[in-house]
C-alpha cells in the first residue's frame, strides 16, 4: 500500500486541478470579476495558512530577515498576483480545456528559460539534446495550433439546453471572437512564463530559507494585499465585490482552501518522495479530466484545435522529460564509470607499490643470505 500511495496522491492532485479549471471557468461565466476573484482566493488561502504557520513555526518566523521578506514580496507579485491575474483573464477569453492544456507547457517553458540563462545546456548531437529541442518545438507548435486553429466543434457530453445557451452567450461575447481568442492564448502563455520565472525564484528562496510553510504563508499574505490593490483599481463598483451563495463562493473556497492549501502540500510531499519528474508525468491526466468535466458540467464546446494543440503540448512535455531523464542517467553512469576508473587506478597503484616493496624486500633478503654464506678468510689465507 505504501508503494501505491505516491500514485494515488499524484492522481488526486490532477483531480483537484481539473476541478479548479472547471469551477473557475463556471464562476467567470456567471460574471464574477477575475481580479476580485483572485483577491478572495488569496484571502481564503491566507486565512488557512497564516494561523497554521504562526502556530507551528513561531520560532522560525523570528529568523526571517527584512531582505528575505522583500524577496518574498516580489515572488508573491510575480507568481501569484501577476501570473494568476493573467491566467484568469486568459481563461475568460478561452476555455477550461485550453487552460488545462496550456499547463503542460510549464516544464517546457521552465527548461527554455533555464537554457536562455545558461542554467541548462543541450548537447545537440546526443539523443537527450535532440529530445529536449524537439519538446520545445512541439510546445511552440501546440501553442500556435491553440491560437490559430479552432477546427470543428465536438458535441458536449451534457445536452442541457440552458447550459448550452449560457455558454453560447458567453462564447459570442468573448471566445468566439478570433481576436479575443488569440489574445487569451497570448496572455495564457505569458502567465505560464511568469509562473516559470516564479518557480526559479522560489527554488532560490527555499535554498536560502528552507521552510515551505512560512515561505508559502508569507507569499499568500503579500499577494492578498497586492491583489486587493489591483482589484480595487480594476473594479470600482462595490456590488461586484459581493459573494453570493452560488458557484462564485464555491470557486473561491475551492481554489483558496483546497488548491492552495491542500494541493500545494500534497505536491511538496509527492516531489520530495518521487521527484518533480514523477509529478509532471501525471499532468496529461488533468487535461483528460478537464475535457470530460467541462463538457459534462458546463456543456463546454470543445474544438478539434484544442485537442490537437493539447496533444502537441503533452508530446512536448514528455519529450523534454525523457531528454532530461536520459541526460541524468548518462551523467550518473559517467560518474559511476569515473569512480570505477579511479578505484581501479588506486588499486593498481597500491598493487605496484606492494610489488615494489616485495621485490625490494626479496632483494635485501637475498643480499643478506649471500653475505652470510660467503666464508671469511683468515689472515694467513689472505697472505
Any domain includes 170: yes
The total of structural domains in the chain comes to: 1
What is the full per-residue pLDDT of the chain (383 aa) written as tens digits? 667 787 888 888 889 989 999 999 888 888 889 999 999 999 998 998 889 888 888 777 777 888 999 999 999 999 889 999 998 898 888 888 888 888 888 878 877 777 777 767 777 778 888 888 888 899 889 888 888 888 888 766 555 544 444 444 444 444 447 788 888 889 988 998 898 888 778 878 888 888 888 888 899 999 999 999 999 998 888 888 888 888 889 999 999 888 877 887 787 677 667 766 677 777 788 888 888 888 877 777 888 888 898 899 899 888 888 888 888 787 766 555 556 556 555 555 555 555 555 555 555 555 555 555 545 444 334 33
Any domain includes 337: no
Any domain includes 373: no
Residues 315, 287: contact at Cβ < 8 Å? no
Any domain includes 265: yes
Any domain includes 369: no
Q: Which of 121, 178, 120 is nearest to 149 (CA)?
A: 178
Residue 119 to residues 113, 151, 171, 242: CA-CA distances in angstroms?
8, 39, 42, 46
- For residue 195, give its domain range: 5-331
Residues 92, 174: contact at Cβ < 8 Å? yes
Any domain includes 284: yes
Any domain includes 342: no
DSSP-assigned letter for residue 244 = -
Residues 326, 131: contact at Cβ < 8 Å? yes
Any domain includes 364: no
Across 321-334, b (16+ Cβ under 10 Å) vs e yields bbbbebbeeeeeee
Cell numbers linked to 109:
517553458
Cell numbers linked to 57:
513555526
**Residue that the C-alpha cell 689465507 belongs to:** 381
Amino acid at each position: 500500500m505504501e508503494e501505491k500511495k505516491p500514485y494515488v496522491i499524484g492522481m488526486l492532485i490532477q483531480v483537484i486541478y481539473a476541478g479548479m479549471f472547471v469551477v473557475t471557468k463556471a464562476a467567470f461565466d456567471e460574471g464574477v470579476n477575475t481580479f476580485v476573484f483572485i483577491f478572495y482566493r488569496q484571502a481564503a488561502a491566507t486565512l488557512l495558512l497564516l494561523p497554521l504557520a504562526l502556530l507551528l513555526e513561531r520560532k522560525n518566523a523570528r529568523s526571517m530577515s527584512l531582505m528575505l521578506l522583500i524577496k518574498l514580496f516580489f515572488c508573491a507579485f510575480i507568481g501569484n498576483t501577476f501570473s494568476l491575474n493573467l491566467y484568469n483573464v486568459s481563461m475568460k477569453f478561452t476555455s477550461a480545456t485550453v487552460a488545462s492544456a496550456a499547463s503542460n507547457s510549464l516544464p517546457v517553458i521552465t527548461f527554455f528559460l533555464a537554457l536562455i540563462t545558461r542554467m541548462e545546456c543541450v548537447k545537440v548531437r546526443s539523443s537527450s539534446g535532440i529530445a529536449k529541442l524537439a519538446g520545445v518545438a512541439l510546445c511552440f507548435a501546440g501553442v500556435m495550433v491553440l491560437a490559430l486553429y479552432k477546427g470543428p466543434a465536438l458535441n458536449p457530453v451534457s445536452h442541457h439546453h440552458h447550459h448550452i445557451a449560457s455558454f453560447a452567450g458567453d462564447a459570442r461575447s468573448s471566445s468566439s471572437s478570433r481576436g479575443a481568442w488569440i489574445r487569451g492564448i497570448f496572455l495564457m502563455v505569458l502567465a505560464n512564463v511568469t509562473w516559470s520565472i516564479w518557480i526559479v525564484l522560489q527554488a532560490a528562496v527555499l535554498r536560502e530559507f528552507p521552510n515551505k510553510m512560512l515561505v508559502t504563508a508569507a507569499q499568500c499574505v503579500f499577494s492578498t494585499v497586492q491583489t486587493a490593490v489591483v482589484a480595487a483599481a480594476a473594479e470600482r463598483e462595490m456590488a461586484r465585490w459581493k459573494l453570493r451563495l452560488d458557484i462564485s463562493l464555491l470557486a473561491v473556497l475551492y481554489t483558496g482552501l483546497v488548491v492552495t492549501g491542500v494541493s500545494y502540500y500534497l505536491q511538496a510531499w509527492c516531489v520530495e518522495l518521487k521527484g518533480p519528474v514523477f509529478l509532471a508525468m501525471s499532468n496529461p491526466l488533468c487535461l483528460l479530466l478537464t475535457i470530460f468535466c467541462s463538457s459534462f458540467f458546463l456543456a463546454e464546446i470543445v474544438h478539434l484545435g484544442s485537442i490537437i494543440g493539447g496533444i502537441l503540448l503533452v508530446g512536448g512535455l514528455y519529450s523534454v522529460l525523457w531528454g532530461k531523464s536520459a541526460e541524468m542517467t548518462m551523467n550518473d553512469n559517467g560518474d559511476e564509470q569515473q569512480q570505477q576508473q579511479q578505484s581501479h587506478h588506486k588499486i593498481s597503484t597500491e598493487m605496484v607499490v606492494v610489488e615494489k616493496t616485495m621485490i625490494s624486500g626479496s632483494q635485501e633478503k637475498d643480499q643478506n643470505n649471500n653475505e652470510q654464506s660467503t666464508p671469511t678468510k683468515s689472515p694467513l689465507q689472505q697472505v
